[in-house]
Amino acid sequence: MSKYPPGKYTPAVEVGLDRMREMAKGNFDLKWMQSNPAGWGHKVTPGPAGLRLRDVDTGYYGNVPEHGSTHGSMAPRGCEVPPETKALPMYTMNEMSEVWAENAGLLYDEAVVRQWNSVTDVPWDKLEKLPDDIERAVCQMCTGLTEVEFVAGDMPAKWLHKINHDFHEVKLFLASQIFDEARHLDVFRKRALANGGGLLMASPGQEELLAAILEAPDYTTASALMHIFGEGFVLTLFRQGEFLAPTEVEKAIFRLCMQDEARHVAYGVKHLKYFLERHPNRAEEVHKILDIGEQAIFTLTLEPQTSEPRAILAGGGLANIDVGAQRMAFIYAKQVKEYLRRLEIAGLNREPRLTIPKEIPYEDLAA
């Protein structure tokens, strides 16, 4: 008697067993070998830096459909999709303009090549005992930065699984960003715990901005608020890292994070540009979310747990907090200027709509 009597297994297993029986008799299907003739014979040329995404996504495989394929499966762009492939309803972001940026593939290549880690790439052995006010300021600044880095990973994670697989350059870039941000929150938290201090006070002001990012009504407004506005402010701040870094350790942390943030901002600018070129009538939605963001960041920037530790570090100690506050006012003006410039590159004239001062007139306020 057969070990596999009919009816012993479910229909799905029976289909599999039937196929095995056919194969055992030497009957193979092999249709897959002749599938997708248009995609066969693809040639790649690795560049001097290796085989990048943009080296393989050329020709037939470089065609990104403006409306993502409607089959809604996880089939990779460029393969043949059998008609019986099930459509999956969770992929709801199917318009290229909703997510695309011309530099997404390039930024992904850069992200994977420039991975670093907080275990061995930060010279932790250079940590030294710091004056109490400086250590407290570093720890408070790192508490705030850890808090903000959480949202930077959560935002792309919130949208990633909805994006059509035809836009894999964007999906890969966002996946790299999620890991970049994990590294950032890890390294700032680690620094707070590493030198005899610890975490200090969370920032209620910060929570408002972070919530606005997660609650944005669609991906593009969320991206404008986070990639261009929030991360742009952080990037400008990190570029001034020497002001805020008492030892080689913090300098290295800022330098490493800065190269990652530059990618995130670059994606945001190019995405908004791509979007607005195709949907100029939707600029108002972007303005509206930036109205909210600007209000939140102004509250946050001037919250004591954010502004005071930065001023102490920028001044070199509590005794020089005045000098530090002036330096931070200078950085704030730079943050606003670069933010407006980035939006201008993306095709959004924000200057007439700006809801916060371009400068904090620290000296005038003190007078």
Q: Which residues bind Fe ion (CB under 5 A)?
A: 149, 152, 181, 184, 231, 261, 264
Least CB distance to Fe ion at residue 309 (A): 18
Listed residue (316, 355, 112, 55) closest to 229, CA to CA: 355
Q: Which is nearer to Fe ion, 149 or 166 (CB)?
A: 149
Least CB distance to Fe ion at residue 231 (A): 5
Least CB distance to Fe ion at residue 93 (A): 21
Q: Which is nearer to Fe ion, 264 or 350 (CB)?
A: 264
Least CB distance to Fe ion at residue 343 (A): 18
Q: Which is nearer to Fe ion, 209 or 360 (CB)?
A: 209
32-71: buried (b, 16+ CB within 10 Å) or exposed (e) per residue?
A: eeeeeeeeeeeeeeeeeeeebbbebbeeeeeebeeebbeb
Q: Which is nearer to Fe ion, 186 or 248 (CB)?
A: 186
Least CB distance to Fe ion at residue 91 (A): 25
Neighbours of 358 (CB within 10 A): 12
Q: What is the CA radius of gyration of the chain?
A: 26
Give the chain's end-to-end CA distance (angstroms, integer): 100
- Token pair 């005899």 in the structure block, residue: 196
CA 138, CA 134: separation in Å to the nearest integer? 6
- Token pair 């061995």 in the structure block, residue: 120
Least CB distance to Fe ion at residue 261 (A): 5
Q: Which is nearer to Fe ion, 71 or 264 (CB)?
A: 264
Q: Which is nearer to Fe ion, 177 or 221 (CB)?
A: 177
Alpha-carbon distances, residue 344 vs 41, 112, 132, 209, 337 (angstroms): 43, 29, 43, 22, 11
Q: What is Dmax (Cα atoms) for the chain?
A: 100
Tell me phi and psi for residue 78, to 5 degrees. 105, -10
Q: Which is nearer to Fe ion, 149 or 308 (CB)?
A: 149
Least CB distance to Fe ion at residue 184 (A): 4
Least CB distance to Fe ion at residue 334 (A): 18
Q: Which is nearer to Fe ion, 178 or 318 (CB)?
A: 178
Least CB distance to Fe ion at residue 149 (A): 5
Least CB distance to Fe ion at residue 294 (A): 19
Q: Which is nearer to Fe ion, 134 or 290 (CB)?
A: 290
Q: Which is nearer to Fe ion, 165 or 264 (CB)?
A: 264
